[in-house]
Every structure is written in C-alpha cells, then in structure tokens.
Amino acid sequence: GQNIDQPTEMTATEGAIVQINCTYQTSGFNGLFWYQQHAGEAPTFLSYNVLDGLEEKGRFSSFLSRSKGYSYLLLKELQMKDSASYLCAVRDRAGNMLTFGGGTRLMVKP
C-alpha cells in the first residue's frame, strides 16, 4: 500500500517563497505528482517527477528524492491566486493508480 504525509495547512505572504513537503512510503513507485485544487473546484495537474532531482515550471518547481521517499513543491513569487490546496500523489508501479495525500491548504496573505 501507499502512505503519504503532507502538512495540513501553511500560511505565506504575497511575493514570498513557500515549500510544501510530502513524504511517502510505498510498496511500488512509478512517479510522483502534484495537483492544485482551488476551493470548490477539481484538482488540476501541476508537476510530475519520476527521477531524482528538480523539475522547474515557471514559478513552480518540484523536487524528488526516491531514496528518502521525499518530495517538495516550491512556489516562488507567491500571488493571492496561489491560495489553494496542494495534493501530493504517488503512482503505483503498474502506472495506473494514484494515491493522494490529504493535501496542504495554503493561504497567501497580503
């Protein structure tokens, strides 16, 4: 099975940088995903890591260490619209099923 942990809530200031951590314990691993979910909306895909290292996409970056079972999502130059929940998800070895963490609710304050 999969066990995924993320902080429940975080608060940061507009313009700042925030790092959201995710740790996982899995019986099989075939990639780690980050999704963003605004209140009342569906999750939307942000990033994907399958190899160790940093993947950068504009203001968002995601890091993976498979040996440590650890990932983080880094958000730079925070904007008010970044206030949302961020879900970490691990894909199983077969490549089909995602197991989601409980999500981290990020509040960006002026």
Interface residues with other proteins (CB under 8 A)? 33, 41-45, 48, 50, 87, 94-103
CB of 93 within 8 A of CB of 28?
Answer: yes
Token pair 């990639």: residue: 31
Degrees to nearest 5, angle at CA 100 with 86 and 79 = 5
- Backbone angles phi and psi of 82, in degrees to 5: -80, -5
Q: How far is the CB of 104 from other proteins (least distance, A)?
A: 11
Report the amino acid identity of residue 107. Answer: M
Residue among 81 and 94 whose Cβ is closer to other proteins: 94
Q: How far is the CB of 82 from other proteins (least distance, A)?
A: 19
Q: How far is the CB of 105 from other proteins (least distance, A)?
A: 11
Residue among 15 and 102 whose Cβ is closer to other proteins: 102
